[in-house]
């Protein structure tokens, strides 16, 4: 038995987005996207070299307030390289959350390391500082200033908190705890471009972070990612190994280490430059949509996921928390039949075959949320796309 009338939600979504099929999140192309793409084509620089790549990196760095931004082919590649630069090597362990998209754990695995899963907070849906503190105090021993897992004997070489759906996690507390155990923090900021903790942009707290510009993100390059850091040495290394570790020379091909062809094409970067110009307006409209949703769901008694007081979410994907797995399934079926796209939160990493063997702390909150969290349509409303008005 449902605790509310599902049709009320569908009606509210349609008052925002109109008739027909309503996707979960669609991109917004109302700025200089076509102009910059044509300029890029006319320049003949459409692959991994071109002015738009540098411009895109500069725009993202300025927006997020970090010193350096290095463009990559996707967010997963950005996270993989960030972990490698943080010191993660084969047979290490990386602490992260089970409530995340699989790219987080794939990046860990690409480094030859093993994820260890610590629970999330119920309000932020992100890594819990309390759970992290408890795990480290009970499962870690320090040897010459290095954290080792007492159960597995492996070195814990990084911690990757994720800002779920753009809602900032308690990143300051996580940084403090990891500092006590000399564990570098690499932020998975894939979903949180435009989110802030006490006025500071997510992705600027850890030694490195990764952002995604996938087609469904708040702004997109079709496919793409970015490494953020304030460390010049790490930035230079990131640029080097993501561009095949080629030593600069007018015509010689000399590579000094194993690198990756993770370069972002100039065409994609051109799209990104236009998208970054529109981002402040996109954030403004999405914030207004989220406010409307929050008031509506408060009125019908359904919890709406939001940022902590003093923090700002980019509202990439709005989420509600239902009463039970049964209610979640019924709502998903009803809304999708009505052509209003909704989806459950990701299946926990601890349930996936390739990560079932990984150590975890019971992930009690994650299990509870997995059964209840639903994402609802979160695009910029269609009738606002031309002007991005509010």
Over the stretch 95-136, which tens digit does the pLDDT of each residue have? 999 999 999 999 999 999 999 999 999 999 999 999 999 999
Q: Is the model's pLDDT at 383 over the cut of 70? A: no
* pLDDT tens string 19-57: 999 999 999 999 999 999 999 888 877 766 678 999 999
Q: Mean pLDDT across the chain, nearest whole number?
A: 95
pLDDT of residue 187: 98
Q: For helices 75-86 and 232-241, give the axis angle rounded to 10 degrees.
A: 120
Strand ranges inside the chain, DSSP E: 68-72, 93-97, 114-118, 140-143, 146-149, 156-160, 186-188, 196-197, 200-201, 208-212, 225-229, 311-312, 318-321, 343-344, 373-376
Share of the chain above pLDDT 70, in %: 97
- The pLDDT, as a whole number, for residue 303 is 97
Q: What is the pLDDT of residue 3?
A: 83
Q: What is the pLDDT of residue 166?
A: 98
Average pLDDT over residues 172-179: 98
Length of the chain (residues): 390
Give the angle subtended at the CA of 240 by the CAs of 239 and 241, to the nearest 5°.
Answer: 100
pLDDT digits (tens, 9 = 90+) for 299-328: 999 999 999 999 999 999 999 999 999 999
pLDDT at 386 (0 to 100): 54
- Mean pLDDT within 263-273: 95
pLDDT band at 390 (very low <50, low <70, confident <90, very high): very low
Please state which of the ranges 153-157, 198-202, 381-385 shows the lowest mean pLDDT.
381-385
Domains present along the chain, CATH in parentheses? 6-27+279-384 (3.90.1150.10), 33-275 (3.40.640.10)
pTM: 0.95
Distances (CA, A) of 346 to 211, 216, 351: 19, 15, 10
Which segments of 44-170 does DSSP mark as H helices, in order? 51-64, 75-86, 102-110, 129-139
What pLDDT, on the 0 to 100 scale, is given for residue 349?
98
The predicted pLDDT at position 103 comes to: 98
Residue 332, pLDDT > 90, answer: yes
pLDDT of residue 44: 79
88 and 246 Cβ atoms separated by less than 8 Å: no
DSSP string for 238-284: HHHHTBTTBPP-SS---B-S---B-PPPHHHHHHHHHHHHHHHHHHH
User: In this structure, are residues 93 and 115 in contact, taking their beta carbons and an 8 Å threshold?
Assistant: yes
Q: What is the mean pLDDT of residues 185-194?
A: 98
Single out the residue of 66, 73, 60, 51 nearest to residue 225, CA to CA. 73
Is pLDDT of 290 > 90? Answer: yes
Query: 219 or 389, which is more confident?
Result: 219
User: 178 is written with which tokens?
Assistant: 């990891």
Sign of CA dihedral 185, 186, 187, 188: negative
User: Using an 8 Å Cβ cutoff, are 253 and 246 in contact?
Assistant: yes
């Amino acid at each position: 038995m449902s605790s509310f009338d599902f049709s009320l939600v569908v009606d509210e979504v349609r008052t925002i987005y109109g008739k027909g099929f309503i996707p979960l999140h669609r991109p917004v192309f109302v700025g200089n996207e076509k102009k910059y793409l044509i300029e890029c084509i006319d320049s003949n620089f459409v692959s991994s070299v071109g002015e738009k790549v540098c411009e895109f990196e500069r725009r993202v760095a300025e927006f997020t307030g970090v010193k350096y931004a290095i463009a990559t082919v996707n967010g997963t590649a950005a996270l993989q390289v960030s972990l490698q630069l943080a010191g993660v090597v084969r047979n290490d362990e990386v602490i992260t959350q089970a409530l995340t998209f699989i790219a987080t754990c794939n990046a860990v695995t690409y480094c030859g390391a093993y994820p260890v899963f610590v629970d999330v907070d119920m309000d932020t849906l992100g890594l819990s500082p309390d759970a992290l503190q408890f795990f480290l105090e009970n499962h870690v021993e320090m040897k010459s200033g290095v954290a080792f897992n007492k159960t597995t004997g492996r070195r814990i070489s990084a911690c990757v908190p994720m800002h779920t759906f753009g809602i900032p996690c308690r990143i300051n507390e996580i940084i403090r705890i990891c500092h006590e155990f000399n564990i570098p923090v690499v932020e998975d900021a894939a979903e949180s471009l435009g989110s802030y903790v006490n006025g500071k942009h997510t992705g600027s707290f850890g030694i490195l972070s990764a952002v995604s510009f996938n087609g469904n993100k708040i702004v997109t390059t079709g496919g793409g990612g970015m490494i953020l850091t304030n460390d010049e040495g790490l930035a230079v290394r990131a640029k080097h190994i993501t561009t095949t570790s080629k030593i600069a020379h007018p015509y010689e091909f000399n590579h000094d280490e194993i690198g990756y062809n993770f370069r972002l094409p100039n065409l994609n970067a051109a799209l990104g430059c236009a998208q970054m110009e529109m981002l402040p307006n996109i954030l403004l409209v999405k914030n207004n949509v989220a406010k409307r949703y929050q008031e509506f769901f408060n009125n019908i008694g359904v919890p709406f996921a939001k940022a902590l007081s003093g923090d700002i979410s980019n509202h990439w994907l709005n989420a509600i928390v239902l009463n039970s797995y049964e209610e979640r399934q019924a709502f998903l079926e009803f809304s999708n039949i009505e052509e209003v796209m909704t989806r459950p939160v990701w299946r926990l990493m601890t349930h996936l075959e390739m990560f079932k063997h990984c150590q975890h702390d019971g992930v009690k909150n994650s299990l509870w949320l997995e059964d209840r969290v639903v994402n609802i349509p979160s695009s910029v409303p269609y009738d606002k796309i031309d002007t991005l008005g509010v």
